[in-house]
Amino acid sequence: MSKRPLEGLRVADFSWFGAGPIAANTLCHFGAEVVRIESETKVDGIRMVHPFAMNPDGTFKSGYNVSGYFNNYNTGKLSMSLNLNTEKGQEIGYRIIEKSDFFLTNFTPRVVDKWNLRYDQITKVNPSIIAAYAPMQGLEGPHRDFLGFGAVLTPVTGISEMSGFPNRPPFGIGTNYPDYVINPGHTVTAMLAAHRYRLKTGKGQCVELPQLESVVNALGTAVAERLANGTNPTRTGNRHPAYSPHGAFRCADDPGSVNSPDRWVVVACRDDAEWMRVAGVLGHGDIAQDGRFNSLVARKDNEDELEGLINSWTAGWKAEELCAALQAAGVPAGVVQNAQDMLDRDPHLKAREYYQYVEHAEAGREAHDSPAARLSETPGWVPGPAPLMGEHTMDVCERIIGLTMDEIADLLAEGVLV
Task: Cite the active site residues.
Answer: 179
Residue 35, SS3 per DSSP: strand
Dihedral in degrees, nearest 10, Cα atoms 407, 410, 416, 418: 100
Cα distance between residue 9 and residue 33, in whole Å? 6
Write the DSSP assignment of 81-92 as a string of letters: E--TTSHHHHHH
Estimate the crossing angle of helix 19-29 against helix 183-201, to 10 degrees.
50
Residue 197's φ and ψ, nearest 5 degrees, are -60, -40
Cα distance between residue 129 and residue 99, in whole Å? 9
Residue 107, SS3 per DSSP: coil
| DSSP code, position 100 | -
In what helix (H) or strand (E) does residue 367 lie, and over which residues does it extend?
strand 364-368
| DSSP code, position 67 | B
Write the DSSP assignment of 155-211 as a string of letters: HHTTTGGGSS-TTS-----SS-HIIIIIHHHHHHHHHHHHHHHHHHHS--EEEE--H
Going by C-alpha positions, the residue among 40, 60, 42 that lies closest to residue 50 is 60
CA–centroid distance for 255 within its chain: 30
Residue 156's φ and ψ, nearest 5 degrees, are -75, -15
Going by C-alpha positions, the residue among 103, 120, 125 that lies closest to residue 37 is 103
Cα distance between residue 343 and residue 369, in whole Å? 10
* Cα atoms in the 13 Å half-sphere on the side-chain side of 278: 32
* Cβ partners under 8 Å of residue 324, min gap 6: none
Residue 382, SS3 per DSSP: coil
